[in-house]
Structure 1
Amino acid sequence: MNIQDLADSILQKQSELSVDRGFLVAVSGIDGSGKGYITEKLITALNHQNVNAVSINLDAWHKLPSERFNSENLAQHFYHHAFHFDDLFQQLILPLKNQRMINLTTVLTGITGISQTYNYQFENVDVIVLEGIFLLKRSLQHFYDFKIWIDCSFATALERAIQRNQEGIPLEQIIDDYQKIYFPAQKEHLSIDNPKSIADVIYINDFKLV
């Protein structure tokens, strides 16, 4: 399956529902699986078919480091407390899905923990692509019209995380954080929620970096 096939699958499902609201797609996978990259390509493919598709990145909705990290049970705590999911869905995702438009200005801390103002202004939206980890938790699955799991090995994901280094931290800390927090938290997610089993599409994205 390529990106165009993925876009066509979304539009086919959207046509079957035939509802006058936004069509909500979840793009999820482990940290470093390439969710953002695939989402960007998917939005482009949809827009080329005269579909007003917009993307929303979950990272902005991180909780403060003091809330999402806990030295007692690193992985389990991160899995349960990493994001403001309730605020995200109530303030942004559901109103946008139901009304196909939104004008929301909010202050979020994002992954760095530094407060920043975010402006979400969309009109006449056909497809909403929400991208991030843990989106396929059991408590969230019913919100989506279409669910995509980006499949990638932990080894490849770590290579990408090292190259990306979005937090600007030393190499040793990246490896330590992924091995002690992020990957164990993802394994918790895989065990509890079994996201692959409920995905409409599993998109393989396990190429090695060169």
Structure 2
Amino acid sequence: MDIQYKKLADYLNMVIKERGLIIIAIDGPGGSGKSYFSDNLNRHLHKCQIIHFDDFYLESDSECHTSSEIGSSFDWTRLESEVLIPLKKEKKAFYRKYDWIEDKVIGNYEVIPEGIIIIEGVYSSRIELRDYYDYKIWVEADYQLRLNRGIERDGDEMREKWEEEWMPKEIKYIASKIHNPRENADIIIHGNSGDCKSFNMLKTKICF
């Protein structure tokens, strides 16, 4: 079912008038089209701030990267303490970003508790964070397409990282009965399309 971005945005803009603040997780495996979907949706939203879960990646010397725990390379506790808890209290949030070139956490970025806050990134709707969100959107795409997109973005030198580490870990996350991110999503989007005007919706629990 092709749905216009504007149609979903109109619904969210209406909800904002009633609530003042809503927080949305846009989750899904790497290369599925989460950022593309978020950016296109944002064009139609009145007030929106996007926070990328990639900014909460752990530095390379962290022992968590070798952990078998799901999503262990991302510091979800920092996302919770620096962003989600303050926002739920309707307070300004200040967070630091992981710099992928410098391999360290830097800066002090402000998030104002109003309008629509999008938390975009794989593992963003994990069970520990789920209750902070008003809506959860899952974006998925075919394996080979996701890999191709990842290599195109990051370079062929990152192919092993994608094939041997990131994608297997994401498959484990998707299959997890504890996190179960796909089944707990309010909307499921198929990210194969490159259409900037509409998207293919596979499931929704929201009437809009």
User: Which bin holds the TM-score, normalised by the shorter protein?
Assistant: 0.7 to 0.9
How far the C-alpha of 1:136 sits from its partner, in A, is 2.0
Query: Which of 138, 145, 149 is equivalent to 2:134?
Result: 145
Q: Where does structure 2 lack aligned partners over 5 or more consecutive residues? A: 195-208
Alignment of 1:1-210 (within 5 A): 1-11=3-13, 14=16, 18-20=18-20, 22-47=21-46, 52-67=47-62, 68-70=64-66, 76-77=68-69, 79-99=70-90, 101-102=92-93, 104=94, 106=96, 108-112=97-101, 114-123=103-112, 125-165=114-154, 171=156, 173-192=157-176, 193-207=179-193
Shift of the 10–196 alpha-carbon distance from structure 1 to 2, 3 Å rule, reads farther
Identical-pair percentage: 21
Partner of 2:200: none
Decide whether the 8 Å contact of 1:101 with 1:125 is kept in 2.
no
Partner amino acid, structure 1, of 2:73: A
Shift of the 69–203 alpha-carbon distance from structure 1 to 2, 3 Å rule, reads same
Shift of the 80–29 alpha-carbon distance from structure 1 to 2, 3 Å rule, reads closer
What is the TM-score normalised by the length of structure 2? 0.79
Decide whether the 8 Å contact of 1:100 with 1:126 is kept in 2.
no
Aligned length: 189
How far the C-alpha of 1:116 sits from its partner, in A, is 4.8
More helix per residue: 1
More strand per residue: 2
Name the Cα RMSD after superposition.
Answer: 2.3
How far the C-alpha of 1:187 sits from its partner, in A, is 0.8
Shift of the 5–151 alpha-carbon distance from structure 1 to 2, 3 Å rule, reads farther
Decide whether the 8 Å contact of 2:16 with 2:115 is kept in 1.
no
What is the TM-score normalised by the length of structure 1? 0.79
How far the C-alpha of 1:101 sits from its partner, in A, is 3.2
> 1:164 and 1:206 mapped to 2: Cα distance?
16
> 2:11 and 2:142 mapped to 1: Cα distance?
24
Shift of the 136–124 alpha-carbon distance from structure 1 to 2, 3 Å rule, reads closer
Partner amino acid, structure 1, of 2:114: V
